[in-house]
Amino acid sequence: MKTLLLFVLTAIAEIVGCYLPYIWLRKGGSAWLLLPAAASLALFAWLLTLHPTAAGRIYAAYGGVYVTVAMGWLWWVDAVKPTRWDLLGATLCLLGMGVIMFAPRTA
């Protein structure tokens, strides 16, 4: 559960770090949004270092959680309800993350 929570926090930090420049560029937001965006992306990079296994495995598994959190962002921030296909895709991504992160390892 701790690993999954860490993945979710990592995904939120990345999404916020990318969403704020989007607001600036596409929606006429203030350039000052770039400061918290940079801080959020730095937090994202730092959070990646806290994960308990090899970097390549973390990046692969993180992708599944990122997709799922992005679907939540679509719903809660963009006010667009995900379709059943969106939810199925996110579920498959989470299943893949679970296989990658929690499979038994010998070395």
CA atoms within 13 A on the CB side of 38: 5
pTM: predicted TM-score of the whole model, two decimal places: 0.82
Q: Is residue 26 part of a domain?
A: yes
Q: Is residue 50 part of a domain?
A: yes
Q: Is residue 51 part of a domain?
A: yes
Give the tokens for residue 67.
Answer: 């997709």
Distance CA 15, CA 10 (A): 9
**Does 1 have pLDDT greater than 80?**
no
pLDDT digits (tens, 9 = 90+) for 47-71: 988 987 778 888 888 888 899 999 9
Q: Is residue 107 part of a domain?
A: no
Structurally, the chain folds into a number of domains equal to 1
DSSP 33: G
Give the percent of the chain with pLDDT over 70.
Answer: 99
DSSP 104: -
State which residues form the domain around 34: 2-102
Burial-class residue 94 by CB neighbours within 10 Å (0-12, 13-18, 19+).
middle
